[in-house]
Amino acid sequence: MSEFAQFADRLKRPIDVKLHDFQRNERLRHLIFASQLTPQLLEKLRRMADMIRQLSRTKEGNLQLKQLLAHRRAMLYFSQPSTRTFLSFMAACQILGITCNEVRDPKTSSEAKRESKMDSIRMFSSYFDVIIMRTPEPNFAECCAYLMNELESREMRSVPIINAGSGSDEHPTQALLDMYTLMRTFSTDYSRESKQSRFVELQSQTPELKPGIANKTYLFCGDMGRGRTVRSLAYTIGQYPNVRLLFVSPSHETLRLDEQTKKRLRALRADIHEFDSLDAQLEGQPILAQADAVYMTRIQREHNSTQDDSDFSKIDFSQYQLNPERVARMKIYAPILHPFPRDSVMGEIPTSVDMDSRAMYFRQARNGMWARAALLVHLFDAADELFMLHNGR
């Protein structure tokens, strides 16, 4: 897109070089790529999300949280459909007292009068203190972050950009909530006063289960080609030592994992394998029985070409469906995640799985609210105030 031409040189750089542009010392200035979510930062955000969650259990805690960022305003610019990301960001803002406003249909903004998207973003930055954006165009959030950096370097008004899904590229805040869910699942910390944590209970039945994200096998299933949540989560998990990533999808070029993603994951030293059925085996063992966590996704049919439509009619999609028989083959502790929405027609996770104790997807969506609130506290440099509130309880 011509509007992005001025950033072409910056866009071309390797990802590792780019990351520096979105940091300010130890802190994030913008969140554009999942690779910014390092294990250390995730640990910090996890603790903050837990504090927000605990504080919000009482009316007093809620009222204190509402003061924390009451002087801030957020713009939610979502020109692509969204339910969970939009609502959980809005709820996160409300928890922290951040006032928010939204543009969801650019036809109702001056884009309808041929205003450029970049002008719209710069205008939002005049009125708001953070821009949370989801757009169909890849690279758009990244370019907005470069624009904000340029303004900052000239000591002009500049605000943080949060990428809430950019085309088929990346979805880093989904990776954040997925990681928060996995970290909680594989942790001994979460005993509610009298109740033992689920992890400790499961560990007594399966002693091979160890805490943490490292040294585990993660299985991803569905649309590996177009699902931005899979890419973002895989880049994040890939930073931990000794992880095995199993990708299950039809072996169609639209649907299987792309070469570039595989290259980046190999560079992280992740052990990656691809399969075309959930019933496949690896080293003589069913892959489903080897997975420590299973991440399901839907087939993103809205992006199909006419050729895809015709090719897909010949694919047996039941191979990518997690029915109760397949769930029965999984480890007793392995959580089932899904970014949602799930496809109610294809049924990659039928509702018959919902009551299984491993079905984590509704909790995962709620975790998005706490994790996104923690991200906002971090971006606005209010972590110390949050610690004080939490410790003073």
Please tell me whether residue 84 binds ligand NCD under the rule CB under 6 A: yes
In contact, 278 and 221? CB cutoff 8 Å: yes
Please tell me whether residue 225 binds ligand NCD under the rule CB under 6 A: no
Q: Which of 85, 88, 185, 239 binds ligand NCD (CB under 6 A)?
A: 85
The least distance separating ligand NCD from the CB of residue 173, rounded to whole angstroms, comes to: 8
* Spacing of C-alpha 392 from chain mean position: 31
E strand map for 223-266: 244-248
With CB atoms as reference, the residue minimizing the distance to ligand NCD is 339
Nearer to ligand NCD, 151 or 346 (CB): 346
The least distance separating ligand NCD from the CB of residue 329, rounded to whole angstroms, comes to: 25
User: For residue 90, what are the contacts with CB-CB under 8 A and spacing of at least 6?
Assistant: 76, 100, 102
Please tell me whether residue 228 binds ligand NCD under the rule CB under 6 A: yes
Q: How many helices (H) and strands (E) does the chain have?
A: 16, 13
Rounded-to-10 torsion of CA 12, 13, 18, 21? -80
**CA–CA separation, 65 and 94 (whole Å):** 9
Please tell me whether residue 340 binds ligand NCD under the rule CB under 6 A: yes
The least distance separating ligand NCD from the CB of residue 132, rounded to whole angstroms, comes to: 12
The least distance separating ligand NCD from the CB of residue 102, rounded to whole angstroms, comes to: 16
Please tell me whether residue 30 binds ligand NCD under the rule CB under 6 A: no
Please tell me whether residue 222 binds ligand NCD under the rule CB under 6 A: no
Please tell me whether residue 88 binds ligand NCD under the rule CB under 6 A: no
In contact, 216 and 292? CB cutoff 8 Å: yes
In contact, 370 and 53? CB cutoff 8 Å: yes
Q: Which of 234, 339, 369, 374 binds ligand NCD (CB under 6 A)?
A: 339
Which stretch of DSSP H or E encloses residue 24? strand 23-24
Classify 27 as helix, strand or coil.
strand
**CA–CA separation, 276 and 282 (whole Å):** 12
Site string for ligand NCD, 169-198 (x = CB under 6 A): --x--x------------------------
Nearer to ligand NCD, 45 or 337 (CB): 337
Please tell me whether residue 298 binds ligand NCD under the rule CB under 6 A: yes
Nearer to ligand NCD, 55 or 373 (CB): 373
Nearer to ligand NCD, 184 or 298 (CB): 298
Q: Number of C-alpha atoms within 13 angstroms, CB side, residue 158? A: 16
Classify 310 as helix, strand or coil.
helix
Cα separation of the two ends of the chain: 51
# residues near ligand NCD by CB under 6 A: 11
The least distance separating ligand NCD from the CB of residue 368, rounded to whole angstroms, comes to: 8
140-152 b/e with 16+ CB inside 10 Å = b?
A: bbbbbbbbbbeee
Q: Which of 64, 88, 166, 229 binds ligand NCD (CB under 6 A)?
A: 229
**Residues forming the site for ligand NCD (CB under 6 A):** 84-85, 165, 171, 174, 228-229, 298, 300, 339-340
